Amino acid sequence: MIEYRSKRHRDDSVELRLFFPASEIWTGEETWPERHLDRLSLHLHGALILEAGFGPGIAAEPFFALRIDGTRPGDRLEIRWHTNQGRSGVLEIVLP
């Protein structure tokens, strides 16, 4: 499972930290550099707010930190990820 931490700041922005453990992204049978996190997207209430693409130079266990403005407590954020070898996942979180 993707590990995350979120924290609301006084200006109503939310700081989000995402960690992708190797066991979530890979099966353990792949070898470097044939495998890597290929795409990451964040959707707030179904609207795309961030989309990123990556190549084979990304870390085996990537960590991302970002700040999202214009959110309210209880907003739902959907995080989607895909690898270059077809694995994917979705995590939906409720923002503080």
What pLDDT score does 64 carry? 93
- Backbone Cα Rg of the chain: 14
Per the structure, the complete domain to which residue 89 belongs is given by: 3-94
Answer for the pair 44, 76: CB distance below 8 angstroms, yes or no: yes
What pLDDT score does 93 carry? 93
Distance CA 24, CA 95 (A): 22
Answer for the pair 68, 14: CB distance below 8 angstroms, yes or no: yes
Name the least confident of 15-19, 34-38, 92-96.
34-38
| pTM, rounded to two decimals | 0.80
Q: What is the number of structural domains in the chain?
A: 1
CATH number, domain of 74, equals: 2.60.40.10
**What confidence tens digit (pLDDT) does each residue in 47-68 have?**
999 999 988 888 878 899 999 9
Which two tokens mark 77? 């954020």
